[in-house]
Amino acid sequence: MAPEASTARGTDVDIGQLCIDTIRTLSIDAIQKANSGHPGTPMAMAPVAYTLWQRFLRFDPTDPIWPGRDRFVLSAGHASMLLYALLYLAEVRAVDPDYEVVGDPAVSLDDIKSFRQLDSRAPGHPEYRWTSGVETTTGPLGQGIATSVGMAIASKWQGARFNRPGFELFDFDVYSIAGDGCFMEGVSNEAASIAGHLKLDNLCWIYDNNHITIDGKTHLAYDDDVAARFMGYGWNVTRVGDANDTELLSRAFEEFKGEEGRPTLIVVDSHIGYGSPHKQDTAAVHGAPLGEEEVRETKRAYGWPEDAQFLVPDGVREHLAAGIGKRGAELRGEWEKKLVAYAEDNAGLAAEIDAMQKRELPDGWDAGIPGFEADEKGIATRKASNKVENAIAEKLPWLIAGSADLTDSTSVRLDFDGAADFEPGAFDGRQLHFGIREHEAAAISNGLSLSKLRPLWSTYLTFSDYARPAIRLSALMELPVIHVFTHDSIGLGEDGPTHQPVEQIASLRAVPGLDVIRPADANEVAEAWRVAIDRSHQPVALVLTRQAVPVLDRSRYASAEGLRRGGYVLADADGGDPEVILIATGSEVALAVAAHEELGADGIRSRVVSLPCWELFERQGADYRQQVLPPQIAARVSVEEASTIGWDRYVGLEGTRIGMHTFGTSAPLKDVQTKFGFTPDRVAETAREVLQRAKGNS
C-alpha cells in the first residue's frame, strides 16, 4: 500500500515505520540526485535515530541551543543525510550568530534536494555553525565520538558547579552514532579509555555494527572484539541484534538511562539497506548512490511509491511534532521556569550561566594579569604564561585547564583555592588530566568549548602533530579553544631532534582561522593571553619556551601592547631611518635585540620588529603594516628557530631567513644554538651581508 497519508498504515507502529522509511527515502533521493554520498548507513540506522529522537532525546526543535538539551552527535558523518532528514522532519529552527532563534528551518526540503551542492544547509558532512542542530562538525572518522567526551565532561562540570537541591539545571546526556571506521581510528581508544576512567555515565555511544568500510568487509583489516574491548575500558556494553527492532532499542536506551558510574556502548547489528544484495555491497563499499534501478527496488521493498521523489507523507512531521517536538518544548519550558526561580537565590551563578551561553566574559576578568619587570636573566615564557593563566582563571570560573600528562612541564597547573582536579566524584574540578592522549585532549577541549566552557590544553609543540585533526576542527568550527604548546624550538637542547620542533610552527600557521602567537617575553605573554581570552569565535595556539628568555626593558623598548596588532616596532634606529630590519618571534627576539645593539655600535641603523602573530598582523590595515615594514627597505633578516617556510613574505627576495633547514641535534642549549647559527653575532653578521647586498643592488 502506497504511504500517501498518515492513514495508510493506521496504527502508531505504522506511523513510526512510516517516519523511519521517510528518513530512508529522503536520504536515498538526496544522494541519488547529488550523484554523491553514502546511502547505506542512513538506511540502516534510520530506526535507531528515529527511536532515540522520538522517544528519548531531550531536545526542543524550536530552540536547538537550549542549554539543558541532550546532545546528539553523528560521528559517522558520511551518513549526514540521516541527520538532515531528522532536522527537516522534526522542524528544527535555525539559529543566527547572535544566538537568537530565528524562524527559518535549519534544513529545508530544498536544502535536501540540493544535498552536497553550493550553499545548501545540507553539505557533504555535518558542519557546526553552518547547520543549526549540528552539535559538532564530523566526517573525519573518530572525531565525533572523541568530541562527545568533552560534551559529557561539560555536563558533569556544569552540574557540579550550578545545580542546587531542587534545581537540576545541568544533567544532559550525550549520544553518538559511530561505525567501524570510528572505532578503527586510534582516537577512539583515547576517547573510550578516558571516558571509562572518568565514569561518564551520561555518555552513550551507538555502534553501527555492519561490518562494512569503504574497502569492503571489515575482515580485510579488523577483527576486534569491540564488546570485550569496551568492557575492558570500564563501559556498560549492551547489544541490539536487529537495528529494526525499535522496542529492543528502547530497552537499550532505558538501560543507559538507568546506568550509574559507567558510560554505555550499545552495539547495534545492522545491514546495509534493502534490495539487491550485490548492489547493496557495491554502494556500501564505494560510498556511492544506489543507482536508479536499485532505488526503485529498495523503495518497492519499503512499500514506497517507486517513482516518488522526496516524498514526505502526511502525518510524518505531525507525528514527530507530537513526540520530540511536544516533549522538547515542555522540557525546555520547565527548565526556563526553573532557571528563573533559581536566579532568585543564585543570581551570581545565573549570571554566569547567561554569560557562558553568550560567550561573554565577566567584568574585570583581566584585572589581575601581572606585569613583569625588566630582567636580563628572564623567565621562560611557559612559566610567565602560568602566572597569567592563574590570574585570569581566578576571575573566569568556567576556564578549564588540562594537559596531556605534562601539567607542570608545560606550566598549566591551576594553583589557587578551588582549582582541584576533575576526577570521578569531583566533577567541579578545573584541572583536567588527559593522560598521554594528545588527540583526545584537543577533541575534548572542542567538546568543552561547544558546551560554552573556556578550555585550554597543553603539550610540547612537537607533539601538536598528534592532535592535528582536532586542532584543525577547532578552527573550522570557530571555537575559542586555547592550544598551549611549550618546548617550542631547538632550545630544548639535550632532548634532541625527536623533541625539537622544526616544521610545526609553519604547519600550524597554515591552518585557516588559527592564530599562532609566539611571544618574545613575559610581557608579550600577558598580552597574548588578553588576545586569546577575548575571543568568541576563534582558536589560538600559544607557542612558548622551556628556557628562560630576557624580560625586555619596556622603558627602553616599545610596549608589549604592540602584540595586539600581531607585529610592531620593538626597537628602532637612532639618527635616521633604518637601513636594515631584523624580524623575529619568540626567544629569537632577544637575539635580534642584541644584534641591533651590536649593529648600532658599528654605526649601522637597524630596526627590530617583533612579529609574534602573523595572522593578527595580516589583519591590520596596509598603512600600519607598511609603517612597521617600509617597502623601500629591502635589507631584511628574519630569525626563528623553525622552518623558514612563509618568511619570504616578510623578508622579500633580497632578504635572508635564519631558520632551520634540517632537524636539530642533541647537545646543551648553547651548543645547539651555536651550531645552527642562532647567536647575536651571527644575526649581526647576516644583517651586514644583507645590507651590503642591498646597497650593491640599488
Q: What is the pLDDT of residues 573-587, one digit of tens each?
A: 998 899 999 999 999
Q: Which pLDDT score is estimated for 271?
A: 73
d(CA 168, CA 157) in angstroms, rounded, equals 13
Model confidence at 279: pLDDT above 70: no
Distance set, CA 598 to CA 263, 548, 571, 581, 592 (Å): 63, 22, 13, 14, 10
Q: Which residue has the cell 554520498?
A: 37
CB-CB neighbours of 157 under 10 Å: 22
pLDDT in tens, 347-361: 999 999 999 999 999
pLDDT in tens, 191-231: 999 999 999 999 999 999 987 777 778 788 888 899 999 99
Catalytic residues: 438
Report which secondary-structure segment, H or E, holds 363: none
Model confidence at 559: pLDDT above 70: yes
Q: Are strands 93-95 and 71-74 parallel, antiparallel or unpaired?
A: unpaired
Q: Which pLDDT score is estimated for 415?
A: 94
Q: Is residue 217 part of a domain?
A: yes
**pLDDT, average across residues 677-684:** 96
473 and 581 both lie in a single domain:
no
> Among candidates 298, 231, 234, 237, which has minimal Cα distance to 268?
237
**pLDDT above 90: percentage of residues in the chain:** 90
The angle subtended at Cα 683 by Cα 682 and Cα 687, nearest 5°, is 115
> Among candidates 216, 147, 156, which has minimal Cα distance to 181?
216
Buried b (16+ CB within 10 A) or exposed e, 454-464: bbbbbbbbbbb
How confident is residue 280, by pLDDT bands cut at 50, 70 and 90? very low
Q: Which residue has the cell 527511536?
A: 51
305 and 442 both lie in a single domain:
no
Residue 138: DSSP 8-state: -
- The set of cell numbers assigned to 628 is 612597521
Q: Is residue 297 part of a domain?
A: yes
Sign for the pseudo-dihedral over CA of 183, 189, 191, 193: positive
Output the domain CATH number for residue 498: 3.40.50.970
Q: Which pLDDT score is estimated for 283?
A: 40
Q: Is residue 424 part of a domain?
A: yes
Q: Which pLDDT score is estimated for 576?
A: 87
Q: Is residue 36 part of a domain?
A: yes
Model confidence at 609: pLDDT above 50: yes
**pLDDT, average across residues 443-447:** 98
190 and 295 both lie in a single domain:
yes
d(CA 441, CA 458) in angstroms, rounded, equals 8
Q: Is residue 306 part of a domain?
A: yes
CB-CB neighbours of 223 under 10 Å: 7
> Cα Rg for the chain, rounded, in angstroms?
28
Sign for the pseudo-dihedral over CA of 646, 650, 653, 659: negative
Among 265, 298, 332, give the residue marking a domain's end.
332
Q: Are strands 203-209 and 174-179 parallel, antiparallel or unpaired?
A: parallel
Output the domain CATH number for residue 630: 3.40.50.920
**pLDDT, average across residues 167-176:** 98
- The set of cell numbers assigned to 169 is 539545571
Among 550, 579, 605, give the residue marking a domain's end.
550
Domain count, the chain: 3
Q: What are phi and psi of 261, to 5 degrees?
A: 90, 0
573 and 435 both lie in a single domain:
no
d(CA 145, CA 444) in angstroms, rounded, equals 10
Q: Is residue 383 part of a domain?
A: yes
Q: Which residue has the cell 520547565?
A: 334
d(CA 261, CA 201) in angstroms, rounded, equals 5
CB-CB neighbours of 248 under 10 Å: 16
**pLDDT, average across residues 172-188:** 96
Model confidence at 97: pLDDT above 80: no
> Phi-psi region for residue 9, left (φ > 0), alpha (ψ -120 to 50) or beta?
alpha
- The set of cell numbers assigned to 44 is 540502516
417 and 288 both lie in a single domain:
no
Tell me the residue range of the domain where 524 lies: 375-550
Q: Is residue 354 part of a domain?
A: no
499 and 602 both lie in a single domain:
no
269 and 388 both lie in a single domain:
no
Among 526, 550, 574, give the residue marking a domain's end.
550
Report which secondary-structure segment, H or E, holds 144: helix 143-162
456 and 578 both lie in a single domain:
no
100 and 209 both lie in a single domain:
yes
- The set of cell numbers assigned to 508 is 600550524
Across all residues in the chain, what is the average pLDDT?
94
Q: What are phi and psi of 15, to 5 degrees?
A: -65, -35
Cite the beta strand spans of 535-655 per DSSP E: 540-543, 548-551, 568-571, 580-584, 606-610, 636-643
pLDDT in tens, 469-526: 999 999 999 999 999 999 999 999 899 999 999 999 999 999 999 999 999 999 999 9
**pLDDT, average across residues 251-268:** 98
Look up residue 471 and give its amino acid.
Answer: I
Q: Is residue 89 part of a domain?
A: yes
Q: Which pLDDT score is estimated for 285?
A: 39
Q: Which pLDDT score is estimated for 216?
A: 77
d(CA 386, CA 524) in angstroms, rounded, equals 13
Helix 381-393 vs helix 522-533: angle between axes, to the nearest 10 degrees?
40
Look up residue 529 and give its amino acid.
Answer: W
| Distant-in-sequence, close-in-space partners of 483: CB < 8 Å, separation ≥ 6 | 442, 445, 456, 457, 458, 464, 467, 471, 474, 539, 540, 541, 542
**pLDDT, average across residues 620-645:** 97
Of 171-180, 492-501, 689-698, which range is least confident? 689-698
Q: Which residue has the cell 616544521?
A: 503
- SS3 category, 540: strand
How confident is residue 276, by pLDDT bands cut at 50, 70 and 90? very low
531 and 641 both lie in a single domain:
no
Q: Which residue has the higher pLDDT, 14 or 84?
A: 84
141 and 264 both lie in a single domain:
yes
503 and 624 both lie in a single domain:
no
